[in-house]
Structure formats: C-alpha cells, structure tokens
Structure 1
Amino acid sequence: MRFQALNIPAFGPFTGKHLDLSAGAGKLEIIYGANEAGKSSLLRAISTLLFGFGSRTTDDFLHPYGELRVGATIEHEGRLLTCLRRKGNKNTLRDGADAVLVAEDDLLAVAPIANQQVFEVMFGLDAERLKRGGDELLAGHGEFGQLLFSAAAGIEGLHSILAGLDGEAAELFRPRSSTARISRLLTDYDGQRKRARDAQVTPHELGELRERKELVQRRLGEVRRDTAAASSEKERLNRIRTSLGLLGEQRLVLSQLEPLAGVAPLRERFADEYAGARQDLSMNEAGRLGLRQRVARLEAEVAEIQYSEPLLAHEPSIEARYQRLGAEQKAQADLPKLRGNASAMEAELSALLSDLGEPPGLEDVARLRVPAAESKLAANLTTEHAELSANLRNASALAGELAVEVEQDAERLGGLAPARPMAGLEQALRIETLPDARRRDLDKRAKAAEVRMADEVRLLPWPGSIEELLAAAVPSEATVADWRRRLDAAAVDGREAEKAQEEAARDLARQETSLRRLEGRRAMATLSGLADRREHRAQGWQAVRQSWLERSGQAAAEFLGETGAEPARLAQAYEEAVSKADAVADELREHADEVAQVAQAEQEAGFAREKLAACSEELARKDAAKQALQAEWSALWAPWGVPASEPSQMAEWLRRRAALAERARELDLMRSELERSTAQEEAAAEELRQAIGLVTGATPEQGSTLAMLRGQAVTLLEEQKKLAAARQNLEGQLSAARRKLATVQRKESTAREELAAWQDRWSQLVERLKLNGAAEPASVQELLQLRSQITTRHSEYTQTRTRIDGILRDSAKFESDTRAVVELAAPALAGSGAMDAVREMYRQLAVHRKARDLAASKQEDLAAEKAKLEALDNELVRLQAVLTSMVAEAGCASDSEVPTRMAEWSAKQAGQAKLAQIQQALAAIAAGRTLEALAEEARGVETDEIPGRLESVEQTRTALEQERDELIREDSALSQKLVGFEGRTEARDAAADLQSTRAALLEESENYVRLRLAEQLLRSAIDEFRRKSTGKLLERSSQIFAALTLDSFEGLKLEYGSDAKGSVILVGVRPDRRTVPVGGMSEGTRDQLYLALRIASLEVYFEKNQAIPLIADDILVNFDDARAAAALGALSGLARHTQVLLFTHHRHMVELAGQHLEPADFVTYRLEKLESAG
C-alpha cells in the first residue's frame, strides 16, 4: 500500500490543495513545511481519511462541518482507489468526484488496516514516541525480548504494562497479605458464614430469650432510679462542701465591716488627687531651693569676669592689620632675593650686548627690538628655504633613477617570445565528456545490477532466464487482484459457514444444557420430596423434645442414625432439617411453570439440531467450491512452471517481476550511456590532437589517451597565459615608469622656479633689518634670536625693579598705620615693632572677646533662672490652696488627719466588694434556692465528714451506671435476636450477605486469574517473538545502530543478565569489543537504538506482510547533523520496503538530505507550494 496523492478540498487551513506523491516510489519522501504551514493538519488528514472524522474536530476553523473533505489516491498491489472522506455520521466515504458512495470494504482492500490505534502505534512515529521508546529501554534494563516486542509493535511502556499487570494482581491477592481485596473478602466470608449459623434459634431458646428480656427490663428500671438518687445525693454533698467555706468567709467580712459603718464616702479619685497635690508641693519646694542656689552662683561668676573696652572698640582695625601681616612678612622675605635677581639681570644684559657688539649701557636697549611680524617672516623664510632645497635635490635624484628604469623595462619587453593563437585549443578543451568517476560508477552499477538481477531471478523463483521472464505473458496484476477477491470471497464464505456451524453447535449445546438443568430442577423439587423433608423435620423435633424433657436418647439415635451423639450434634442436625424443608417449599413455589419451560426447551433444542445439520451441509458445499477455485488458480500458473501461492504473494511476485523489468530498463540506459561516452571521448581526443599540432607544429601520436591530451593542452594554455601575463605586466610597468619620469621632471623645474622667488623675498627682508644682504638664513635667524633674548631679559629686569620699589612703599605705610592703632588700643605696646605689636594685639583681642561673650552668656542664664524661680513661687501659692480645700472636703481638722480618713474608706470599699463576690458565688451554688435556705441546708454538717460520704456515693453511682450499661447492651442484643427469630430477617440477611460476598469473591478471583493470565500471555508472546526474531532482526538492528552512532558502536549482541531469572539482555558493542549496557548509554544513543530496532523490525515485518506506509513526524529533531544524516540514510533504506513519509518543519533536515543522500533516494515536497486541485 502507498499513497499516490493526497487531495484536501476543505480541511484545517487547506482549501482545494493537492499533493502528488507518485514520484516518491522507492524513495524517502520528505514533506517540509515551516511553522503554521499545516504539517500537523496534514498528519491528521491522513488518519481522518483512513478511519473517519471524530465526533468532534478542531479542523473546522476555516470550513464548516458540512463542507469538510479530505481525500487521497491509494495504490495497493496494482489496484488504485481515489476517494474522499466527508464529515458525517454515516456514508462518509465517497469517490474522488464526491458524487458516488464508496464502500468501506473497498478502502480496506487497498488500505488493509482497520484499527486506527494499531496504525498509529505500529506505523506512526514522532519525536515524543521515540524518546518514550528510549526511556522504555532504560526502564526495561535492556531485556531483549521486551525491546524487540516493543519496537516491533510500536508499544511504548511495555515494561510499565507488565509492572501494571503485576501491581493490579498484587492488589487483588498476595500470599500472607491481609490487606489485599481477596484476602479481605475471605475474612468477611468466614465471619458471615458464622453469623448465618448463629442466626438459627430454637423455640425453647425463644421462650428463654423473652423471659430474660422481661427480667432485664425490670432490673434496668430499678437501676436507673437508684442511679438518679445517687447522682442527687452527690450533687447535694458537693453543694454543701462548696458553700461551707463561702459562708464562713461571709461571716468574717460582715464582722470587719461593722466598725466602719459610720465612715462617709469620698470621691472616686480623691486619694489620687490628694497624693498628687502633696507630691507636687514637695517637688515645688525642692525646685525653689535649687533655683535660688543657681541664681547666687551665676551672679558671683558675672562679677568676676573682666575685659578691655578700648581694645574691643578697635577690633576691626586690629583684624585688618593681622590679615595684612602675612603679605607683609612674605614681601620682606622676598626683598633680598629680588634685589639679587636684579643685579644678576644687569650683568647678563651687559654680556649679551657685548656679544651683539652694542655698548653696555641699558638706556638704548629698546632700539634693538625686532617687530614680531618681521621675526616670524624670517623664521618662515628659513624653513621654506630648507624645504625648497630638499625638493629640488629629491626631484633631481628621482628623475635620474626613473630614466634608468625606463631603459631597463624596454629591453626586457623586447626580449619576450611572440604570442601564438590558442582559440582552437580552448574550443577542443571545452568539449564535454562523461566524468571518469561517473563512468566508473556507471560501469560498477551496471555490473552490480546484472549480478543482483540474476540473484533476484533465482529467488523469485523463476525456472528460466531473465529474458524469458520478461517476455513471458504471465497473468496481469489486475487478474491476480480479481482472483484474490474471488479467493478471499470464497474464504470469507467458508469462514462464515464455519462460523454459522459453530454458532449452531453452541446454540444446540446451550439448549441441551438448559433442558438438562430444567429437568434436574424438576426432579429435585417435588411434593413427595417436600413431604419427606417435613416428616424428617418432625422426627427431629420429637428427638429434641424427648432429649430435653424426658432426657431420653432413643429418638435422637433414630433421627441421627447413630447412638451416643452429643446434644450439639442433635441441634445442628435439626437446624439442617428445618433449612432443607424450607428450601424445598420455596423452590416449589418458585418453579410452578417448570413443565411448560421444559417443553419449550425441548422444542428449541430440536430446531437447533436441524439448523446445525443445515449449516454442516452448507460448510461442506463451500469447502468444495473453495477447493475447485484453488485448483483453477493453480492451473492458471502451471504453463510457466511457477508454483501458485496465495494471491497476495503472487501479487508480490508480479511486483518483484515489474521491479526486475524496471531494473532491466535502467541497465539498458546505463549501457547506452557508457557507449555514448566512449564515442564522445574518441571525438574529443582527435580534435585535441589537431589543435595541439597547430600550436606546437607537431601532432601527438594516435595512442595518446584523452587525459594525456587534455593535460598537454592545459600545459600549453598555461604557458601562453603566463607569457601574455608577463608581456602585459612589462608593458604596464614601462608605461607607468615613463609617466612617473615626466611628472618628476616637471616637479624639478617647478622647484627651481620657487627657489628663485624665495631669494627675492629674502633679500628684501635682510635690507629692512639692516643686515648684510649676503647673510645666510641660519646666521640671520641666530642674530634675530639674540636680539629677541636681550629685549626679553630687559623687560624682566624692569619688572623686578618695579616690584622692589612697591615692597618698600607698602612696608612704610604698614608701619605708620600700625603705630596709630597701638597708641589708641594698646599704648603698652608702643615700643614694640609693627609686626610684633600686631600679633600681640590680635592675641589680646581674642582673650578679651572671649571674656565679653562669656559675660553675656552668664547674664542670659541668670535672667532665665530668675524667671523660673518666680513661676515656682506662684505655683506654691496655688498648691497650698488646693490642699486646704481637700482637707475641708475630707472633714478633717488638719492635713495630718487626711491619710487616716482615706485608709478607712478604702477598707470599707474592699469589704463591701468581697461581700458581694461571696454572695454571688453562694447564689450560683444555691441553684434557685435562697441564701438562707442554703445556709440552713449546710447547718449541722461537718466539713470533715463530706469527703467520705462523697466517695461512698460515687462508688455506688459508678457501680449502678456500669450495671445499667450492661443491661442496656443485653436488652438490645435480646431484642435483635427476638426480631431476627420472629421475622427470620437476620437469617435471610446473613444468607444474602454471604451470597453477595461469595459473588464478589468469585468476581475478584476471576479478575486475578485474568490479570495473571494476561501477564503470562504477554510474557510468552514476548519470549516467542524473541525466539523467532533474534537472528535476522538482531543482525539488521546491529547494522543500522552502528550507522546511526557513526560507528562509535560496532553493533549489538545478547548477553545473560545478572537477575535470578537469567534474562537475555541487549548490549552495545564498541569497536574495541567492550560492551555497554542500555543503562550505560546516553539518552540520545538510547533513542537511536530504539529507532534502529523499529526500522529493522519493520523491514523484517514487511518481508512476510503487506507493506503499510510509515508516518514519521520530526523524529530527528534532537539528533546532531551527522547522526541525523545517518538516520536519513536508514529511513531511505526502509523506503525500499514501504512508503516512508517524513514530516518536518526544519529546513535543515532537507539540506542534510540533499548533502548526504543520492538524488534518486529521496524526494522533497513543500507544503507552502501545494498544487491547487483542478
């Protein structure tokens, strides 16, 4: 089966699109689309076409439900089917024109897989499923059977499935487990069976139960009354014990309040206010004493402070003089140095003037000054003269060198050989022939194809040659397909007839079983049988009565059929007799229509026998027709000596024959291409010989090969190219040298002209400066620098003399100003120097200014303290008035009586509060009685005797409560037994519970057996698959795994595991023969191992089964480039067995395929470039 085309009229993002897959036969088909291009929608479209739309779909966002369509053209064994699938509940499969219904069987005939889950699991693979497969390898610890089975079936989580089956079974039952469900049900079953036995009660026991119940109820009433009386006495004693103490406290408090009866009340905050007023008065007196002491101390300190008013009056003048003192000191210090500098400058100027040839006097120095413009011009002209002289020298030297170079280049150019015409040689070299690698590859492929075709003819099988095979007029694929339908129809008819016969046999067995069951039930439940059961029950009752009343065992021995039996044995036998009699009576009432049912069952059994005979005849007829058809099918192939296998196998035979024919055509094409290549090479060699002869004058020999001739021609062309390049290079050099020589000669002439112009400007400058006109620029420049130095030093000398005069003038003024201030502010310093006087006055000014500031601060503090003292005096008057008022309010004659008055009132308040608390507690204890009644109840009772009486009452009450609880439980149990016996509900309930538990136990046991059987069957299937598939599948898996891992693994092999079961595990083999278990492989390597197993399993599967397309969705997204390329090669190999559709949205995968696969091994489809269906 393969998809030849996908047609998507309306589905998801697609509208009227068509994807032609016919060019991908035998190739890896890569379907590429960027994100949002519709790759996922196309994948869903394939599954939807094969198995129908779901009840809900997410692909209706562009097209409404009623317009959704997806279709394809499918080819299978020569048969083509073009169909569409629409959204709907029935009749959803239609032909390609959407006009005629198509039967689902027609689709199944070309797409032979009916189960969507099987298709997606076995023939679908994506990156997530690949990763889960790698994780399963790790979880299974490399157990080989599980790996093979999982990879072949596409089932991820096989280890988890086995563990799940084991876990579910263990939840149902485990040896020595009490929590498993079956264990719990067994425990419940045993308890319920005992309860059912215990539910049987005799009439004698019934009478005893009723008498016991009456006795229990009478005693229960007495105990309840006695318990209530004991509880009342306990409450009374507790009440008296609690109230005795409180009553004593009440008497004590009343006696304490009696002397305070005449104490008048005070305000609530009187005591706090009185204490606060007394405290404020004490603090006031202490504060006033401290303030008077501080005022006296401050007055004395102010009187002791002394300072000079005249000195402070001249504070600005003194500070001004002190600020000038630093500058004056510096000037006096600089004066000797300035005078020395002036003398040195005079001597230096005299020496410079002498060097210049001028008189030593400084009066005429100003006339030596050179204007700045003239000095700058002289410097510029000096620099310009040097540059112009250098330019002239350089130009002259370069012109001589270039003249020599021009002469040498002209000589070399004349010595080169002449050029030869090469057009014919180049044209002969451009003649195209088949590349040697391609020719060798064609020859190799042709020989390999011949060998492979011969092998395939032998394996086909075919008794003759390949030419006879291709010429034989064997049946067509259409004929085989028709015969397959006929044989399949005959097989289906045979299976249906066999199924009908089996169904008829099962129906007959059911009818006969039902009949036997009805007959058996009718024989068991009869009136005579009921009479016998009742007589046996009566005999048992007589035995019980005789044994109970007369103490005789004769009747019991007759009833039991034995002598000396225990009473318990007689009771059990009687219970069984009663149960059996009741059961027979119930069954008779239930099966009153038994006879009618038996007759009906016999009639239905007769019909079933007739139907079975008819079905057996039909089966024999179908088998005969099938054998005749099979003989005719075998005769169809007899003329060619080909054994007639199944039509599907013969279709495969025809397909392989067609493939051989295609390979034969490809072989013919390769041979034709090789012959054309030989002719082209001979023509090209002849033309090259002629062209070489024209160039060299000597034609090469006839035996020269094309490669030798081409090498000689290429050598000649390279020599001519080198000669032409050398000529062109020399001509360029000569032309460039001549242009440079002309340019340099022009620069030389210009330099001479510029030097003459400079000489004119220089002569004019020398004349203005009154210098010798023939002086060189360097000498003139040196003279000008000396004159500039003299004028500069003279200016510095003048500035120094001016500074000396200023210092002397400022010093005299500072002296006179200082003397005037000293006379007014500090006459005592009149004999000191000016700078010393200034320093001393500034020091005294700081001292007297500090004394003045301190006196002012003390005066401020003194004023503040006096104000505080005055405020405290006023507060003292107020506090005294407040205390006088409070003494009068308390009714006291003096202030000393007030504390006693407050203490009396406080004691009276405390006593009244305590009395109220006691009376409130007594009222709570009295519980509605008056306090007088409570006191009367406690009168005469001693406190010491209460605990003993309470203990006695409590013991009595506890014993009565225990007896009451036991009587209540006994009464409840007796009631339940009486109800169960009288209504027989307890026995029936016990039986129902027992039956329900038995059914649950049976169901869980069946589930347990089913789970263990499923686990065992799955393990057996895994082992069977491993045993049958180990050889070829392991070999092919090793080859693919080595390729996928880029030969970092040499292959795979089997080893025995270390577990107790000796499991066979799969390990990887390194090139150095070291083995690596699955657990030691990286995650990526495990994914590649799983992919190798899947590909190898599919290849082996398709050797014996019909080919189904493999749908792979971006499975290489996590592979690096090299391993992804190897995987593409493996998928390309699988594509020779079945159609492989690789979906991806990674452009890089397409590029890798182009780089690493042959163009004939893959084809790419772009989703963005789908054709519009027309």
Structure 2
Amino acid sequence: MKLVRLLLQAFGPFTNKVVDFSTGSTNLHLIYGPNEAGKSSALRAMTDLRFGIPVRSSDVFVHAASDLSIGGVFLNQSGQRIGLVRRKGKGVTLARLNVETEQPDTSLAVEGALERELTGGLERSEFEAMFGLNHARLREGGKLLLAGEGDLGSALFEASAGTRGILALLAALDVDAKKLYSPHGRAQNAVMNEARRQLEEQRQAWRQAQTKPADWQALNRAHESARTALDEVTQALETLRRGENELTELRTVEPLLREHDRLVAELRSLAGIPDLAENAREERLKAEQALARAEQDRKEAEHELEQCATALAVLVLEPLLLQHADAIERLVSEASAAAHHRVEIQQQTVVIDRMTSTLEMRVGRIVLGREVDEILRAVPSDADRGLLDTHLAQVSRLGDRLQEYQQRADTLDEAMKLEVEAEPVLADQTVRQALATTIRHAQSLGDVIRQRADLDRQIRELEGQFALALSDLSTDSEQALRSAHPILDAQIAFTKQELSGVEDRQRAARDEYQLVGRDLDEQRLRHRQLAAEGEVVTADTLRLARVRRDDAWALIRQAYIERSQDTEQSGHRFDADRTLPDAFEAAEREADRQADLLRADAKRAAGFEECSMRIEQMEARRSELERQMDALAAQYGEVLARWGRQIGQAGLPDLAPETLHEWQGRRQDALQLAERMEALRTDRHRLLTQVAESASSIAEVLRTLGQSVDEKRVRDLQGLSSLIEQGLKWEKHTVQAEAEHSARARATKQQQVERDKLNRLLTETKAELERHLSALQEWQARLYLPANTTPEAVKARLTELDELVRHHSTSSEAQQRKAHLQAILDDLRKQGDRVAALLSESAPEDLDHFVDALRKRLLVARESAQARAVLIRDQTRAQEKKRLAELAQSAQEAICMQLCAVAGVPTIDQLPELEEAAARKREAQRNLSLLQDQLARASSRSEEELRTRLASRDAFTLESERDRCRAEIERREHEQASARQAEEQARRDLFAVDTSDRAAIAREAMESAAARYRSAIRPWARLRFAHTLLQEALNRFREQAQAPMVSAASSFFSLMTGGAYERLVTDESEDRPVLCAQRTGGTRIRIEEMSEGTADQLYLALRLAALELRRSSHPQMPLVLDDALITSDDERAANILRALAQFAENGQVMIFTHHRHLIDVAHSALGDQGFVSHTL
C-alpha cells in the first residue's frame, strides 16, 4: 500500500510529528534531516509500522517502551484511504485509525488480507532487501558487480532479489561439498574419500588377520618350550647370585669383626677411668676463666670507689640558688627585655609630642578656636557615615546618568529626523507577485539549454541509430518498414520447426548413409581378406554341393535303376563334359571335400557367411536411404516454396525463418527508435514553446516594472536564463528594499519607544537626585560647611575628619603603650627585690648588675650539682660491680670444687690428664657402637653365625670363591639372553597370528569408516542439491528476465550516466554470458572496466529495473533510499534523481538525506514540480 501520511506519535525523538506525503503531484519525495534530527528513527518507523516494533527497540530514549506508537494513512489498490496505528507490545499490536481524526478506532478490525496488503506478503528482511537501499548496500552491490566480472545471471538475480554474493555462495557450497567428497582420486582429504580409503585398508587388514588353528597350536607349543627354557636358566642364575651375595657379605664383615675385637681390648684397658661428661674440659676451662675475670672486676670496682670519694670532697654547692632557680630565670629573662622597653618609652614620648602638635594644626585648619574634642564630636558615626557615603555616591551616579540620558535623547532625536527624510518608495505587490510566478514557472523548466542540447543529441543519436537500423534491415525508409506485415512468431516457429525437422531427418539419413557406406566398405574388405586366405566353404556352398550330389544320384536312379530316363541325355544335361557316373562321383567328392573344409575352417566359413549376409543387408539399406533422402529433399523444397509464398504476400524480404525472426525484431527496434525520435522532437518543440512563453511573460512584467529588456533575449533560447537572472536580481533588490523599509519602520518605532523611555528616566533621575541633595544639606552645618556646598567638598571635609580621627587614635595608642611599658619596668624592680629577699640578701641598687651576677652564680651552682650527681651515680655503680664480682668469684670456686669431686681428685690441677683418658674411652665406645651398626646393616646374621662361616676362610679364599661365582653368573646371563630372545621371538610369532584382537580392531575400524562415510553422504547430497538448485534457478532467471530486465535497466542507466552509456547489452561470446554497457559510439565496456561510481549506478539501475518488472506483484510498495547519493557529486546526483523521477512515475520513491545541498540539486535537475521536499 502507498503511504500517504506518516504519524510519528511517540517514536524516537519525535512526538506528534506528521510527515505528509500526499502533497505535490509527484511520487518522488526528498526527506531532509540534519544530524541528530531523527532521520534514522524515521526510517525505522516506516519499517516498524508495517512489520512491528522490535522487542529491543533502540528508539526508547525519549518515550517509554510501552508508549511507543506509530501511525500512518495508506492508499490501497482501489484508492481508498486506510488508517493504521502500530504500538509496541506483545500479541496483536496493529489497529485501525480514523483517517479523519487520526485517532485509534476500535470499531474497525484489522483483517488478515489488510495486513498482507500492508506487508506485501513479505518478511521484514525481504522488504528491507527489496525496497530498502542505503549507501553501504549500494556500494556493496557495485563491488559485487565488479567482483563477479559481469556475470549476467548473478548480476540480474542479486539486483532483483536484493541479495548479495550469489557467486560467492555457489563457490562456498562447492567448497563445502568438496570437503565431504571429491571425485578426483588424488583428493584424499575429503571426509568420504578418507573414509573409503580407511575402509579398504582396514578390510585388507581384517582379511590378513585370519589364520588356521593348527598354525596357532604349533606356534603356541614353540612359545611354551622357549618360556620353560628361559625359566630354568633364570632359576639357576638366581641361585648363583644368592651365592655371590653371601660371599660378598662375608668379605664385607671380615675386617669389621677384626676391628671389633681391637676396640673391645682397648675398652678393657680403660675400665678404671671414670666416665666424665663429654664437655667436662670445656666446663673446667670456662670456670677458671670466669674466676679470673671476677677477681679483676672486684679490683677495678674498689679503685673506682676511691676516685669518686676524692672528687665529692672538693665540690662547693649553693642550695638556695638551686632552690629558687625558676624565679631567678624569670628575673633574668624579663631583665633582658627591660632595656628595650626603656628605649621604646622614649620613642613613644616623641610620638605623643608630634601627634599633639599635628592635631592642633589640623583643628585650626578646619575651624579656628575650637578644641580637638569638640571637632571630634562632629565626626559622624559609622551608620551616619554609611548614609552620607550612600547619598554622595548616588548624587555622583545620578548626575552621570542624567547626563548620559540627555545625550542619548539628543542622538535619538537626530536619528529619527534622518529616517523620516530617507523613506524609500516600494513597488506594486501585484506586479511583484506576477514576476515571482513567471520566474518560478521558468525555473521549473530546469536547465533548458542543457535539455535542448540533450534532446538534440538524443535525436541525432537516434537518427544515426535509425539510419543504421534501416541499413541493417536493407530498407530505404520508415514507410517501407511500416508497410510490411510481420508474421506471427508462432508461424515462424512452426515453419522453422518444420524445416528443422526435415533437416534433422535429412541429416540423420545422410549420417546413416555415410555410416552404412563405411561399414559396407569394411565388410567388403573383410570379405576379400577371407577369400584371399583360400577357398571358403560355407553352409550354403556345402548345401548346394550336396543338392548337386543328390540330383546326380536321382538321375542315376532314374537312368540305371528305374530306367525312366535316357542315360546319355541325362548325363549331358547334368554335366556336358562327363558321363553321369563320373559326374556323380565328382559331385560326391566335391560335397565331401567341402564338408571336410567346413569342419577344418568353420570359424572362417562362418565369418565369410556373416560378411556376405551383412553386405547384402547394407546394400539394401543404402538403397532404402537413397529413396528416403530423395523424398526428404522434395518435402524440404515444398516447405520452402510455401514459406516463400507466405512472406511474399506479407511484403517481407525473402529470408529464412530464423533470419526473418531476427529481422522482425530489429524492425520493431527500429520502429521504437522512430517513435522515440518523434517523442523527442515533440518534447523539443514543447520545450521551445514553453521557453518562449516564459521569456515573453518575464519580459512583459519587467517592462511593467520599468526595467529595460533586450528584445534579442526574448527571442533567444539562451536569453531565458538572463531574463530569469534579471528578474531575480530585481526581486532580490526589491526584497532588500522592503527589508530595509521594514527595518527602518521597526527602527523608528523602536527609537520612539526608546525616546519615551528616556523622557521617563530623565524625570525619575532628576527627582531622585533632588532627594539625595536635600539629605546632604542637613549635614553641612554639622560638618562646619556653608550651605549649598558641593558633594565634592563634603567628601573632602569627611576625609579631613577621618585624618583627624586617625591622628587622635595614633596619639592615644602611643600614650597607652608608654604607660604599659612603664608598668612592666616597675614590676621588674619589685621582682628583683623579692629574689634578693629569697636569697637572704639586701635589695639591689643596680638591678642589671644584680641580675648578671645571679645568672653566673646559678650556672656555676647547676654545674656543681650535676657533677655531684654523676659522681654519686658512678659510686653506686662501682659498689654494685664489686658486689657482683664477689658473687661470681664464689660461684666459680664452687663449680671447680664440684668438678674435682666428680673426677675424684683433690685439686683442679689434676683434671687435664684425667679428662684426656676419659675422652679416649668415649671414642672407643663410640667406634664400637658404630661398628656394631655396620655389622647389623652389612648382614642380617648373628655375630656367632658370621664367625662360624669365617672360621676356615680368610680374605683370599673369599675373593677366589667370589670370582668363580661371578664367572659362572656371566655365562648363565648369556644363556638367559639367548633364551629370552628365543622366547620373545616365539611370543611375537604367536601374537602375530592371534587374530582375536587384530581382527576386532580392524573390524571396528571398518565400521567406524563406514559410519563416517554414511554420515557424510546426506550433508554432501544436500550441498550438491542446493548448489544445483541455486545454479538452475540462476540460469532460469537469466533466461526469463534477461531481455525485459536489461531493456528496462538500459533506460535507467542511460539517464544516470547522462547519456554516456546508451544501453546495456549481453556478450555471449564466452562460456558464460556477461553484462556490458555500450557507449554512444558503439564501444562496449565490461563491468570490471568501470569505475566504482559507475558500477554503483549500474547496480541501482538493475535494482530499479527489477522492481519495475515486479511492480505488479507488490503494487504501491515504496522504494526507500537512505543517503544513497552521499558520495555522488552534484552532476551524478542530478542524473540519478532524473532516473528516480522516471521510476517514480509508477510508484512511490522516498530519499532520506542529511545533506541540505541535495535539495538544491533536485531543484535544478527536476524543477519545483518534479519532487516534494520534507524536513524532519
């Protein structure tokens, strides 16, 4: 259905937005929307209205998902207006809309037929593929055309269905099928090929795995024998190794037992030595060293005590100074600042004297004979000063503002006077409207010069093509073409079929005649070859010989036995050269001879007979074929004669049916060229008439407006643009004059409003200024100023009073500071007297000297007290050190006595020798224990058993026995290796014929390969079937749609390229037909030779042609283009717009763009009436 109105009630950024497609007289709509204006949302809305709003819609950023709503008013095939509204939700989301109120109408139902008419019976993806085209898909279509190298079938199919990559899809299907199966023997990577190869290999392995039971039993007995021999050798070898291990064990323990005996003897000799601790010597040495160190520490402590007592005796202390140290330090600290205070008191005295004289001088300047305090009482308070400052500021500000208002009023008065004098005179509005109408009508004609040139060029091209067509048709004029009466294609096809049938039968007869001739020559050659080998006897010749023999015998019976015939006469009749008996004998011999020859060479005889029979049959067939060819030649001549009479009656040239069919097609093309030429001439005449009328109308209006017009321009085609330009310039000048007039009127009005406002402001400002001046008059007497003093004088007096107050404040602060410092000095004197009393001394006369002396005495007293504390600390530490040394000395002496008691000696000097003997005893015991552990680890036998086995053996005997045992072991190991090798070989032979495992594995591998083969057959068959179906559909579509689609696309492509390409043609000179474009001069350009932009135009032309051919199946479906012209320059865009305008004559076309200049391009290419523009 055709969309008339799009109601964006709540969708994306839109709220109650209406796009009306019913305006204008054309179906070509150009929808412009700047960036972020909602162009993409409007595009989605047109599709969602027909097919439903998706669940995950991206247009919910303004309105809630449940509030999304799109409406539309459509025209059905009968021209009835139908309103529909779509909401977001589940279930049925489409409802009827009242076309008058544009509100949902629940009384109307949405029928299934109506919904099918809305969607065209398509899915969303099919609709977007067929009727939607954006820039990316346009570029992709052009690239696919270039990649397909002009393949006709894929180009037409992809453009018609809106699909992409048909050739790539076919190639992918073929590649996927070859991954499963490849017919080439070398392709073993395919699944089915590999499975088949593995199946054959495993089947062969399974067959080879079969064996006989007798063979298996023989090999099993051989393996058992070899295993028994290996076990015997292994058992003997184990016995020898056990003997070798025993000898090695005895050889190992023999020296250990000797060392055991030596250690036992040594321990018996040391039995009287006491068992001392292992660290007895270290403890003794440690006690002796500690005892010596304690004695040394005691002596050092006694020396330190003597030194501390001597130093304490010479120290001198002042306890009163240390007791009152804080008071002394405070006095010293404050006394250091007293000198600075005395200097500052003198400075403050000077300041006070200077400030007093300054105050008296400033008071005299203000009012003579007044005291300072009296003048200070006249100084306003902070609140009064704030009011005074406000009045002074307002007086100054209002005075400046009053002056500014007065200047502005004077300036406005002067400007209003000048505006009245410069008022322009405007033209008549009716004449202006007439000029605008004539200019718009002339502009709607477009570029008339180019149109005239295009029409002339097209007419010349068509005339050349028409002349060439007449030449190709061997016709002099168009009238001759029209006088001919074409024969129906059915009649041509019937005659062609009839002639073709006769020709086929003639061809078949000639071919058979030639084949029979070649076979006859071969049979004759074979017949001669068989005859050349010698006499040939056949069954027929033998039969004839036997018939002759039987005839002779019958004559003999008649002549000699029955006597019914004459002997001589019968013999002469049978054989003129012999008597009847001789002739019979000769006939009998001949029959017997041929019978013998036939038995001896029956094969050659049969071949000779067969060859003779075939020669006879072939000669008969050749005669029959000659008669048949003569009849077919007569029939062919009769058909040609009847065809000649038929085309003669129709006034057609004497041509064969096939050639006449092509001639009639070219005749129709030539007549179409003639019709197109006539239509172009009519268009050119109409264009010239419209141009002349427009030029005359514009010139007449310009003369009415008083403009000079060149008459040559009125009669000249190129003068229309000059007249339009002149009219536009006048209109622009008039618009500017009107704008200036309106601006002056608005300015005058604004100036008057401003002048009234200034008058009001002047009055208000003067009143406020008078109020503030009155307030200032009340302060003038208090400030000792005369009446009517200016605000500047008031400000100066206030400044003088501020200075007076500041100097008075400074003087007061100096007096206060002086009194404060004097109080500090008096307090310092009192502190000095108190400190002297605390020290039991008299009050000082010179405080500074007293303070310095106290500071030095306090420093000395503190140093003496600190030294006394250090000496007392050292004395205490020395006493503690002496005490600890005495305790340590007593403890170490006790340890030494304990060590002597343990060793059983009276003095400590005897301990070293005894400690050395005890160490030897401990070492012997430790070695004996280690030796016993070694014996236990070396042998599990007891000591007595080992001594028993070693009783009659020494080390040499043990070595000899072990060497003999090792030699026997080496010999047995060689035997074991040979036996193991024999057993391994027998076991491998037995395993090789044990088919239970190998056969099962091979059988399992066979089943696995067969399963893989069976599982791959169905996918491979589907892929091959899909490839075949798609290829067949591609071929059928090419055969059915080639002529109409290429013809329709030629018109669009010629418009899009501005006539650079006159039509599209097919080239069938190669294996596959390809699509080419023919330039104006007849040059053919293949698609892969085109630029990307031209390929894009070709793809768009094919899409338009496909939609044109399928319009009946989807009537009134709009073609929607989204920024499809984004990369086209203005000229190419204008050409494409012309092609779309032609397509829009029978259907609705909507072009969405965010480029504003495309509207200007459309205006210049199509005029105002050629399209309808909308703005989002």
TM-score, structure 2 normalization: 0.48
Larger Rg: 2
TM-score, structure 1 normalization: 0.48
